[in-house]
Amino acid sequence: MRLIAAVLLLSLAACAQQPPRDDSLYRALGEQAGITRIVEGMLMNIARDRRIVRHFEKIDIVRLRDKLVEQFCVEAGGPCTYTGDSMEESHKGQRLTPSDFNALVENLQDAMDTEGVPVPAQNRLLARLAPMRAQVIDR
């Protein structure tokens, strides 16, 4: 019994020493509701963007929206779990170019502008998403 109590106490102490998760970007984006509006705005922008809309014609847009909301939430430090495929897997065979990626980023920035997200918060999100560029180009 003492061993169980000691293990429990050590576990609680370890949890107490963990630094709190930084959710300031999540809050700056408007939390779950704001992130959902940003993603939906981005997808609406893409639907009007002749440069890249063809890449989205055969995609389940509702599922894509849901997975992007999860992903942005996780990247922003929110209380979410990403349940989608890896970036490599989900972009396999699409042969996306740097120009395609840049167009998507422009659509995301426009959506964040529409939602009134401050530029520093936009830059923080883009910086967290930027490493994914190599995972989606020419896959």
Name the pLDDT band for 7 (thresholds 50, 70, 90). very low
- Residues 71-75 have a mean pLDDT of 96
**What was the pLDDT predicted at 93?**
82
In a domain, 11, yes or no: no
Residue 123 lies in a domain: yes
Q: What is the mean pLDDT of the chain?
A: 87
Residue 103 lies in a domain: yes
User: The domain spanning residue 28 has which CATH number?
Assistant: 1.10.490.10
CA distance 59 to 38: 19
How much is the pLDDT for 8?
Answer: 44
Number of domains the chain is built from: 1
3-class secondary-structure state, position 100:
helix
> Is 63 among the domain residues?
yes
Cβ-contact 73, 25 below 8 angstroms:
no
Its domain, for residue 81, covers 22-136
Statement: residue 48 has pLDDT above 80: yes
Mean pLDDT, rounded, for 82-89: 89
Q: pLDDT, tens digit, for every residue of 11-40?
A: 454 444 444 578 999 999 999 999 999 999
Q: What is the pLDDT of residue 13?
A: 46
Asked, for residue 8, whether it belongs to a domain, the answer is no
Tally: H helices and E strands in the chain:
8, 0
pLDDT the model gives residue 2: 53
Residue 61 φ/ψ, nearest 5 degrees: -65, -35
Query: Does 100 map to a domain?
Result: yes
